[in-house]
Amino acid sequence: MSERAKFVGINHVALEVDDIDAALEFYGQLFEFELRGRIGKRMAFVDAGDQFIAFATPRTMPTDESRHFGLVVDDKQAVVAALERQGIEIRPGRFLDFRDPWGNLVQVVEYGDVQFTKTPEVLRAMGLDGLGKTPAALGELREKGVEVAV
């Protein structure tokens, strides 16, 4: 692995909405989707293939906390090291969250840990040949009827 992580893709986007039910109804009239999960009236997660969109109400967290995007990388620890070299604060919690110098909230996940999947041909073309999935991520994919070659 290099000193820097390589972008693999976008894992998710989190949108702020006033009403979860209204957001699900609106987007449900535009797109066919599966509801991945829900936390009462505070949050909902909608599958977008092997990525997702999260809807969050401002009451869930302050406005500048609910709007963010999640990136998939090949090496999350390389991102941690780069953030530390830059003096960027890594936010406490179970995810690798940080604010860029312009205030955007970014969440980084490692390819192996999430459902987001590229074909072996695409990974090879990206120089990421052999990048695999954890057993937990493979289990989540199997639950959806997706078998991924390991």
82: domain CATH number? Answer: 3.10.180.10
Residue 58 domain-assigned (yes or no): yes
Residue 2 domain-assigned (yes or no): no
Residue 1 domain-assigned (yes or no): no
Residue 64 domain-assigned (yes or no): yes
Say how many residues make up the chain: 150
Residue 150 domain-assigned (yes or no): no
Our count of domains for the chain comes to: 1
How far apart are the C-alpha atoms of 37 and 1, rounded to whole Å? 34
Region 87-108: mean pLDDT is 88
Residue 19's domain spans which residues?
Answer: 7-143
pLDDT for residue 147 = 82
List Cβ neighbours of 125 (8 Å cut-off, separation of 6 or more): none
Q: Are 106 and 68 in contact (CB under 8 A)?
A: yes
Residue 148 domain-assigned (yes or no): no
Q: Predicted confidence band at 97 (pLDDT cuts at 50, 70, 90)?
A: very high
Measured from the Cβ of residue 11, the count of other Cβ atoms closer than 10 Å reads: 22
Is residue 98 predicted with pLDDT exceeding 80?
A: yes
Residue 97 domain-assigned (yes or no): yes
Residue 76 or 102, more confident: 76
Lowest mean pLDDT among 55-69, 83-97, 121-135: 55-69
